[in-house]
Amino acid sequence: MNIDNETFKSFDLVGKDLSNRGLVSSHSGNMSIRSGGKIIITRRAAMLGWLQAEDLVAIDLEEEDPHSGLIASTEANVHRNIYKQTDAMAIVHAHAPCSTALSMIEDELTCIDAEGMYLYKKIPVVECDVPVGSYEVAEKIAPALVNYPAAIIRSHGIFAKGITLEDALGVLTGVEQSADIRYRIHLLGKPLKRDYSKEKGFSDW
């Protein structure tokens, strides 16, 4: 499958943004788009901040392909299951530090900042025994993304969906911003003057 220049430019832009923000390490993170009966996904251990055209791999949407499976991201089956069960047209996955840290002490990320409250309300945290690239992750993350734009695998990172890669990037960075604010409040060790997330019952969303 030939991957056109505009598609590559979109992957390149999002990869550089993730890298520049420190949301991925040099060879971590992955992203994909749905294209008809195919998924275009970053290859295994690609450097998202320095993508080359050959770092994008086309795999089948419905079935695993042993050959491409050895080249594509280790999270390929996770992406595939999300596409099959949700309305996602693009997926971005990154090991965002604040979201990942909070996932290790909280069961959900309820937003306490104004933008997070308006856009997300809460982000679920998904528990997996094998949190990286496993069939368990593929099985558990997809249902969480049916009703939420993003979910966090405990100790691993965020999976965000969107219509485009740029849209999914906006979700992921927005969630991480809300997590960063919540994380800083934890560090301050002082109670909120007003916790809108509790007043509005975001845990029930």
Whether the per-residue pLDDT at 187 is higher than 90: the answer is: yes
Whether the per-residue pLDDT at 180 is higher than 90: the answer is: yes
Q: What is the pTM of this model?
A: 0.94
Q: pLDDT-based confidence at 94, cuts 50/70/90?
A: very high
> CA–CA separation, 20 vs 45, rounded Å?
17
Residue predicted with more confidence, 158 or 135: 158
Q: Which of 46-55, 67-76, 86-95, 148-157 has the lowest mean pLDDT?
A: 67-76
Whether the per-residue pLDDT at 9 is higher than 90: the answer is: yes
> In total, how many domains does the chain have?
1
What range does the domain containing 108 cover?
Answer: 5-204
Q: What is the CATH number of the domain that holds 136?
A: 3.40.225.10
Average model confidence (pLDDT) for the chain?
94
Check residue 67 and give its pLDDT.
Answer: 60
Whether the per-residue pLDDT at 193 is higher than 80: the answer is: yes
Check residue 117 and give its pLDDT.
Answer: 94
Check residue 133 and give its pLDDT.
Answer: 80
